[in-house]
Structure 1
């Protein structure tokens, strides 16, 4: 018997020779394989071992799970084996897959329901399509963009007897149209932006000039929610970037005057605590309500974001905005910033009538990116250090879950001897495909060039593909990030998955700092870039 040829460095024949039968004896198979292994040269053995190791490193070994019926094909979890070009193409593939489902089952509707292959309506204005316009342009998906543009040109009408939410329609529709106009130069989108902007203005016809939450864009009437005369602070203070830009483009000062008046009133109001604002404001009195409750999560989050971004948008001239932002950050540090146990993760909790709660919404993960943006624009360097600490926390909200996806809300352990930093209540285990962590990863990578932020983003994208991708098109929110065997699809793809999440993934993996330069643009809270105004 001769040894294998030196020319065949990695071949290894496992069929039996002689009188033994390969299928009859496990012991014979072990001995036969061992004899053949011993016959190999050192070079052959090393090459085989290297090949096996490479396969393991690149994550080639994957397996199907019981959720395969609603997911696409398995993906490869890898870092070192994937180039940035591959990652960019993976984002484009994800968008195309989501768009496939939307186009086939929900074309022109607000939201895709990918499991039932149907759609959901909120305002009846094609929210997903409009939210995704600038994403398609940035991703250079020309065919898909032209399809959407044709729909905007021929089908989109705001002359409808329908109530819309002022905040949501401003950040998604007005913001999306303005952004697409700036990126493309096509006046179709500016004309549509003027139309919806004008139709939203009745919301400001209140005794206090604090806008109502709901507007009928066909009738020109507005009203608060049926259950209260309050609006949320985040909603009335997170429409400014869009209306200010609309005034600049149209030379009609009414839009900016309306939203600037809101900021002036909030700036002067009593009821704050160290710059932190309550969650509700009354449209009749113009005063804060539900005093003593402070959060950077739902109903307050983007107030803080827009303080900084308005200051940047306006050329860093409006000092009251900057003062309110800096004071609020000091209030966060004093009242809401704590450390978890056992790993001392920095997190932002909530305050209710002087009582601290270690509850943190995923929405709060906008904060690392906002802090980093402020530091980039000249604010104190310790803002960047805090951004890095909070970025680690937001990543751990994903990494410590069995699916690698973050829940909507977490509670941090603060007691010594805790086994894990993060607890998740049963009602909080859902994931809505939210963008905030990916958004902050984009800012942190753009400003620091630390590759770990890209690697973290890549992990998250792969887990979205693994647990939320629907084989027939689209992605779905899930009910349980703690159950990788059956995360329980919710049958809804939010418009912000295309408008924000995938856009920020693409920008995170792009090496081009001029692709939506952060020295030229500021993103609204729906990830629609608007220009920083030129200084005189």
Structure 2
């Protein structure tokens, strides 16, 4: 032990003379050496070991840093960052008596972390589900929905954006040699349009490769029988081999979101082919819905009958499942068409006012703003995760000249969507939450047992992307980073792939569901990559509009005045 006098104070001698510079440096070196010698052998060994580790990990991080300087493409697979390095490199703090060392290691390149997540997901798909619709990563098998390679086609433009050339080339080869729509299979008009037709059109625009346009034209023509109904409201299902269409077995209704969220793709197909039939049938749907009675301040019911062309199940209004993308596509069609279609803008603006009037509330505790549901004039404080598309859509509208209070609402709702993740034990949002309107209880959010699953959905990271693009507020990037880490912690499957989970409130046993939705690669990881990219020209939002499956389509040139 040293006497107290040597620990209680340090004497410093300051001098103006430059002639003492060398001597002072020498004394400082001697003082550091004495302090070093004061450490025990174990402490010195620890310091040297950690410094060696820092040097090793610094060298490992070098490719990531140079890639960040060079541009936006992912590193080659062999240079990707090892998982153990990612964990270590975030921040390292350690205490060695009598000194405190805080070693800050630069954050993992977030773009490269997204690339690693995509590669891991793609590895599982390639190894166990190649050419099939969906990966089952736990059982290392696949699920089939339509037999159209949904995950592969949904992922094409993501791979192109991430610069994964080898993976893209393999997928393109499958599209060229294996993808055929000449098969006796019933497909859902909406899902096939947004995932397959949208994916092919987006990839065509990004690559200029005619292969994808030819496949899109073939598919588009095979979907047209769905529109042969008495009302011109399309059937939900179409057999792309037989050329027949029908509603679901249990009803003659179609959901409103499905029949009003295929317009971007069909309109673009007409523009590219110079064949007006595709745009005409989907524009007719919008004209009919525009004139229909049964709305409440722009809010629409969830179902529409394919025989009568009238709304059914009236009095129930939601921005969640079965209605959500109707509102999204009102705005995006208006943007796509060069802001010339006034009926679309009118319907969108009226709907936003209806949302604010009937569906927006605040929690009683923390005053979180949320969007609930209306059922026959009764308010239900229930919000689907799907509704988290809305902050991004509102922000996109404000960016395109719509009222500034749309952006104010977007900021408030974005905070709520963030809390839907943050307040869960796994850091992942459930499918549905209920909000507490009472100030007496300490909780803002309640989650029913049946609603605790997470399907790897993209809506929150989608909105984070828009919010960051338009505000440059880095907190949105940080929130996205937290979500990616939670996906890695609780849904990543060893050997390849990510899985949906049953219980976001149980970090010990989240209950893997053994299914990786195609939109995890097509949307969730794509939006995360765009969120972290500093290249604002990467899918410039003044040049492209995203369909509801995150496939980018060009905004049409304004017609000459």
Q: Same-fold call, TM > 0.5? A: yes
- Distance between the aligned counterparts of 1:294 and 1:261, measured in 2? 23
Among 182, 195, 199, which residue is 2:222 paired with?
Answer: 199
Structure 1 residues 190, 129: CA separation in 2 closer, same or farther (over 3 Å shift)?
same
- Distance between the aligned counterparts of 2:37 and 2:542, measured in 1? 56
1:356-375 aligned within 5 A: 356-375=379-398
- Distance between the aligned counterparts of 1:348 and 1:331, measured in 2? 11
Task: Pick which of 78-87 and 437-446 moved more.
Answer: 78-87
CA contact (8 A) 2:372 2:381 kept: yes
Question: Which residue of the partner structure matches residue 285 of structure 2?
Answer: 262
Structure 1 residues 154, 274: CA separation in 2 closer, same or farther (over 3 Å shift)?
same
For residue 411 of structure 1, give the secondary structure of its aligned residue in structure 2: strand
Among 126, 135, 149, which residue is 1:112 paired with?
Answer: 135
For residues 504-535 of structure 1, give each alpha carbon's deviation from its aligned partner in whole angstroms, at most 9, with x where no partner exists: 00000000110000000000000000000001
For residues 234-285 of structure 1, give each alpha carbon's deviation from its aligned partner in whole angstroms, at most 9, with x where no partner exists: 0000000000000000000000000000000000000100100000000000
CA contact (8 A) 2:89 2:107 kept: no
TM-score by length of 2: 0.84
- Distance between the aligned counterparts of 2:174 and 2:204, measured in 1? 16
Q: CA RMSD in A?
A: 2.3
Structure 1 unaligned runs (5+)? 17-32, 37-43, 52-71
For residue 254 of structure 2, give the secondary structure of its aligned residue in structure 1: strand
- 1:473 is aligned to 2:499: no
- 1:389 is aligned to 2:412: yes
CA contact (8 A) 2:264 2:329 kept: yes
Q: Which has the higher contact order (CA 8 A, sep 6+)?
A: 1
Question: Which residue of the partner structure matches residue 353 of structure 2?
Answer: 330
Deviation at 1:418? Answer: 1.7
Question: Which residue of the partner structure matches residue 100 of structure 1?
Answer: 123
Deviation at 1:12? Answer: 7.7
Question: Which residue of the partner structure matches residue 541 of structure 2?
Answer: 518
Task: Pick which of 3-12 and 517-526 moved more.
Answer: 3-12
For residue 32 of structure 2, give the secondary structure of its aligned residue in structure 1: coil
Structure 1 residues 198, 9: CA separation in 2 closer, same or farther (over 3 Å shift)?
farther
Question: Which residue of the partner structure matches residue 27 of structure 1?
Answer: none
Deviation at 1:82? Answer: 7.5
Among 271, 276, 284, which residue is 1:253 paired with?
Answer: 276
1:46-85 aligned within 5 A: 75=87, 78=90
CA contact (8 A) 2:90 2:108 kept: no
Deviation at 1:149? Answer: 0.3
CA contact (8 A) 1:84 1:509 kept: no
- Distance between the aligned counterparts of 2:470 and 2:220, measured in 1? 34
Among 311, 323, 331, which residue is 1:300 paired with?
Answer: 323
- 1:6 is aligned to 2:29: no
For residue 200 of structure 2, give the secondary structure of its aligned residue in structure 1: helix
Structure 1 residues 5, 364: CA separation in 2 closer, same or farther (over 3 Å shift)?
same
TM-score by length of 1: 0.88
Structure 1 residues 368, 15: CA separation in 2 closer, same or farther (over 3 Å shift)?
same
Question: Which residue of the partner structure matches residue 161 of structure 2?
Answer: 138
For residue 432 of structure 1, give the secondary structure of its aligned residue in structure 2: coil
For residues 355-396 of structure 1, give each alpha carbon's deviation from its aligned partner in whole angstroms, at most 9, with x where no partner exists: 000000000000000000000000011111110000000000
Aligned residues between the structures: 487
Deviation at 1:420? Answer: 1.3
CA contact (8 A) 1:84 1:510 kept: no
For residue 497 of structure 2, give the secondary structure of its aligned residue in structure 1: coil
For residue 116 of structure 1, give the secondary structure of its aligned residue in structure 2: coil
Deviation at 1:6? Answer: 3.4
Question: Which residue of the partner structure matches residue 499 of structure 1?
Answer: 522
Structure 1 residues 241, 76: CA separation in 2 closer, same or farther (over 3 Å shift)?
farther
Deviation at 1:341? Answer: 2.2
